[in-house]
Amino acid sequence: MVDITKLEKIVNKTRKIVEKSKEELYQLGESARREYERTKYELDSVKKQISEIIREVEKLEEEYMKARLYLMEVSREFKKYSEEEIKSAYEKAHEKQLELLSKREKEKMLRLTRDHLERNLKNLEATIKRAEELIVNIGMVLKILGNDLELISVEIGEIQQRQALGFSIIMAQEEERKRVAREIHDGPAQSLANIVMRAEYCLKLMELDPCRVREELMALMEMVRKSLQDVRKIIFDLRPMSLDDLGLVPALKKYVEIFQNDCGIFVELTVLGVEYPLESGQAVAIFRVIHEAMTNVKKYARASQVVIKVEFLKNKVNVLVRDNGVGFDVEKVFSEKQGKAFGIIGMRERIQLLNGRFEIKSSPNRGTEVFLSVPVAAR
């Protein structure tokens, strides 16, 4: 048998791993997004600094230009200016020049930083996009995995159920065969052996006491008749031919008659509604279940009376078999027999195979009630 719990374990483990990967991926995506925000903020601030520094550089260039012009003027008209003034003009120009150089250097650095940040940002953007795609993909994988695995486990469940179904039905059939073998062994087989012996005796009598042969032959005939009856009963139990030819109710009537004669329990058969032909599988299953219920009555119930009710409704057939016998503890029988109550399990499974409903109710000294309901095509 397929071990469904093992498979389920594997399935769950796989799902967990994939789910964990999804979670990790999500976290990766999240940290990339945070990094992206941070980088973007930094970039904005660098860009601001750059535009500031550009303004500063422009201003400085102007100031430097002015300082140089002034210096040129002072140098040209050096007689007009004191040495002090010339020196200061020169220093001022030089200072502005240095300042300008340093600012330009700073601008260059900032531009480099900006380019670097922009590249980072692009990479982060790609990472985030990739993570999102992967999360979607993994989500899809999980969905497919989940659906398929669910389907698989449903399928396995069904297979197992079918296996179990088949198993109990086979066991019930095996029980039935045992019963038939025993019946033939105890009944007709013994009678036939007896008949052979009596026939031999008749042969002897023909020589010794011919007058008694007639009497003996009469007894022999009676034995043969009884054996024939037994054989017919066994054949009927195996498969009532009237089930196919005449339908469920006539087969039941015949069965009830034999049952009553056989074990002296009064059976009341009631048919409600008008009988309509059932599919052969349905008729056989219903008959088998009633048969098994009645066999149990005979074997265990010690009942004096059985009621069989068959109800033909528009879209289903209901059957009730109730005895007034000793009853039994259903739960207890099932737990003690640990699924070996093949008779009852077989009944339930036959009905389940027809998508029907099966119930057995019983309690000690309260009798037993077997109920079944099988859906049929609406008429």
Query: Does residue 343 interact with Mg ion by CB under 5 A?
Result: yes
State the Cα–Cα distance between residues 221 and 204, nearest whole angstrom.
17
Binding at 172: pick from Mg ion, ligand ADP, none (beta carbon under 5-8 Å per type):
none
- C-beta atoms surrounding 32 within 10 Å: 20
Tokens 């016998």, located at residue: 325
State the Cα–Cα distance between residues 353 and 172, nearest whole angstrom.
15
Smallest CA-to-CA distance from 311 within 323, 300, 321 is with: 321
CA 271 to chain centre: 39
Stretch that binds ligand ADP, among 115-123, 185-193, 201-209, 294-302 (CB under 6 A): 294-302
In whole angstroms, the minimum distance from the beta carbon of 311 to Mg ion comes to 24
- Give the residue with the Cβ less far from Mg ion, 26 or 300: 300
Would you state the structure tokens that stand for residue 53, as one six-digit string?
């520094």
- Give the residue with the Cβ less far from Mg ion, 227 or 296: 296
CA 195 to chain centre: 60
- DSSP per-residue string spanning 202-234: HHHHHHH-GGGHHHHHHHHHHHHHHHHHHHHHH
Binding at 325: pick from Mg ion, ligand ADP, none (beta carbon under 5-8 Å per type):
ligand ADP
Stretch that binds Mg ion, among 89-97, 244-252, 290-298, 371-379 (CB under 5 A): 290-298
In whole angstroms, the minimum distance from the beta carbon of 368 to ligand ADP comes to 4
Binding at 227: pick from ligand ADP, Mg ion, none (beta carbon under 5-8 Å per type):
none
Query: Does residue 322 interact with ligand ADP by CB under 6 A?
Result: no
Among 168, 296, 324, 362, the residue binding Mg ion under the rule CB under 5 A is: 296
Sign of the C-alpha dihedral, residues 332, 338, 339, 343? negative
The SS3 of residue 308 is strand
Show the binding pattern over residues 334-373: x = contacts ligand ADP (CB under 6 A), - = does not: -------xxxx-----------------------x-----
Residues 125, 36 contacting (CB under 8 angstroms): yes
Query: Could you list the residues that contact ligand ADP (CB under 6 A)?
Result: 175, 296-297, 300-301, 323, 325-328, 333, 341-344, 368
Query: Could you list the residues that contact Mg ion (CB under 5 A)?
Result: 296, 343
